[in-house]
């Protein structure tokens, strides 16, 4: 069998188009423009790339983007004061504080200072609790993107056996709650799981969020299963030659050994071009949802969990 490749890039483009449509309707019918504030503390190069990409995507979707760049030595109290100001700003419907924060700042304190209804990353403890108890919440973007792709591919997920590998607060745990919410039978595997291949082999749906290049092998996968590869790992790629400074070129790979898995799975997301593009699309989706909720308008269809 050769797996169907789930085109995350194409699907993310569809989601972004849908978001843009909702933004137009909010503006034309209600005079509202959804606004997303992104706060970056320090100069971490990867964070700078993410923040730029998020701002660009926000503007492309017709929304307002508010960028706040603070020095790496910004006192925690100043960051908390900015969050409080954004909480009160009616033009801001979503607030994202880019992680990781510098060590002198308590990330949990900052995240939990965000108005939960503006917490478009879905990391606030209230949103975690709401998701865990099946209440309406803001859902973390990466698992939301995975859920959207799975629903799009399968229609209903009810009754399916799902294995999530990884139990992080950002991906693994919220993913498991979302799959449970869609009536899957869910197993969460982690570094202490015994016989991981045997556990994965039970699954109709495998979500790998581990951070280990190519760990999940084709012979772990039940024939016909759907495999969602969240992993983003940069590895050396000598076949691509060397850079000007003599270092070996690199490439991105997932947590799944794509070459062996694609011959067994029914469907699989590639890396890159799978889950990655869905994360920013879902950030935009969450912002438009937050704007609709703040104004007691119907939720945008197909953009929430």
Q: Which residues are designated catalytic?
A: 54, 98, 121
Residues of span 175-214 touching ligand NDP by CB under 6 A: 189-193, 196, 209-212
Q: Which is nearer to ligand NDP, 115 or 119 (CB)?
A: 119
Least distance from ligand NDP to the Cβ atom of residue 279, Å: 4
The β-bridge partners of 263 are none
Q: Which is nearer to ligand NDP, 115 or 143 (CB)?
A: 143
Q: Which is nearer to ligand NDP, 74 or 286 (CB)?
A: 286
Q: Which is nearer to ligand NDP, 34 or 145 (CB)?
A: 145
Alpha carbon separation from 272 to 52, 228, 284 (Å, rounded): 19, 12, 20
C-alpha torsion 139→143→146→147, nearest 10? -50
Task: Based on the shown chain and the rule CB under 6 A, indicate whether residue 140 belongs to the binding site for ligand NDP.
Answer: no
Phi, psi (deg, nearest 5) at residue 218: -55, -40
Phi, psi (deg, nearest 5) at residue 89: -80, 115
268 contacts: CB under 8 Å, gap ≥ 6: 3, 4, 5, 6, 226, 227, 229, 256, 258, 261, 262
Least distance from ligand NDP to the Cβ atom of residue 167, Å: 4
Among 38, 232, 253, 291, which residue sits at the site for ligand NDP (rule: CB under 6 A)? Answer: 232
Task: Based on the shown chain and the rule CB under 6 A, indicate whether residue 57 belongs to the binding site for ligand NDP.
Answer: no
Task: Based on the shown chain and the rule CB under 6 A, indicate whether residue 47 belongs to the binding site for ligand NDP.
Answer: no
For 60, half-sphere exposure in the C-beta direction (CA atoms, 13 angstrom radius) is 15
Least distance from ligand NDP to the Cβ atom of residue 153, Å: 17
CA Rg value for the chain: 20
Task: Based on the shown chain and the rule CB under 6 A, indicate whether residue 281 belongs to the binding site for ligand NDP.
Answer: no
Helices then strands, each counted (H, E), the chain: 10, 11
Least distance from ligand NDP to the Cβ atom of residue 271, Å: 8
- Using CA atoms, how far apart are residues 268 and 119, in angstroms rounded to an integer? 30
Per-residue contact flags (x/-) with ligand NDP for residues 151 to 170, judged by CB under 6 A = --------------xxxx-x
- DSSP label at residue 223: T
Least distance from ligand NDP to the Cβ atom of residue 60, Å: 18
Q: Which is nearer to ligand NDP, 35 or 172 (CB)?
A: 172
Secondary structure element (H or E) that encloses residue 170, with its range: none
Least distance from ligand NDP to the Cβ atom of residue 211, Å: 3
The β-bridge partners of 227 are 206, 268
Task: Based on the shown chain and the rule CB under 6 A, indicate whether residue 62 belongs to the binding site for ligand NDP.
Answer: no
Q: Which is nearer to ligand NDP, 87 or 250 (CB)?
A: 250
Task: Based on the shown chain and the rule CB under 6 A, indicate whether residue 286 belongs to the binding site for ligand NDP.
Answer: no
Task: Based on the shown chain and the rule CB under 6 A, indicate whether residue 110 belongs to the binding site for ligand NDP.
Answer: no
- Using CA atoms, how far apart are residues 89 and 34, in angstroms rounded to an integer? 12
For 237, half-sphere exposure in the C-beta direction (CA atoms, 13 angstrom radius) is 11
Is the Cα dihedral 193, 198, 200, 203 positive or negative? negative
Binding site for ligand NDP (CB under 6 A): 142, 165-168, 170-172, 189-193, 196, 209-212, 230-233, 275-276, 279
């Amino acid at each position: 069998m050769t797996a169907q490749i789930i085109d995350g890039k194409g699907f993310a483009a569809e989601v972004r188009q849908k978001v843009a449509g909702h933004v137009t309707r909010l503006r034309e019918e209600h005079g509202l423009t959804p606004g997303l504030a992104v706060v970056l503390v320090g100069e971490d190069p990867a964070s700078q790339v993410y923040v730029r990409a998020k701002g660009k995507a926000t503007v492309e979707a017709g929304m307002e983007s508010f960028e706040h760049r603070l020095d790496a030595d910004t006192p925690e109290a100043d960051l908390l004061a900015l969050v409080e100001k954004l909480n009160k700003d009616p033009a801001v419907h979503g607030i994202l504080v880019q992680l990781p924060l510098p060590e002198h700042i308590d990330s949990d304190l900052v995240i939990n200072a965000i108005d939960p209804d503006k917490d478009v990353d879905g990391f606030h403890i209230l949103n975690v609790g709401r998701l865990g108890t099946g209440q309406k919440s803001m859902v973390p973007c990466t698992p939301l993107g995975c859920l959207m792709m799975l629903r799009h591919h399968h229609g209903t997920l009810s009754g399916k056996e799902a294995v999530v590998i990884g139990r992080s607060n950002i991906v693994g745990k919220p993913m498991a709650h979302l799959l449970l919410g869609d009536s899957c039978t869910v197993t969460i595997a982690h570094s202490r799981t015994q016989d991981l291949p045997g556990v994965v082999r039970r699954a109709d749906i495998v979500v790998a969020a581990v951070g280990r290049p190519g760990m999940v092998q084709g012979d772990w996968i039940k024939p016909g299963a759907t495999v969602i590869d969240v992993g983003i790992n940069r590895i050396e790629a000598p076949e691509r030659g060397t850079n000007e400074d003599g270092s070996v070129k690199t490439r991105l790979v997932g947590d799944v050994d794509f070459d062996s898995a694609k011959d067994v799975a029914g469907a699989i997301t590639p890396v890159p071009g799978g889950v990655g593009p869905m994360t920013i699309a879902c950030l935009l989706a969450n912002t438009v949802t937050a704007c609709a909720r703040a104004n007691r308008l119907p939720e945008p269809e197909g953009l929430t969990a």
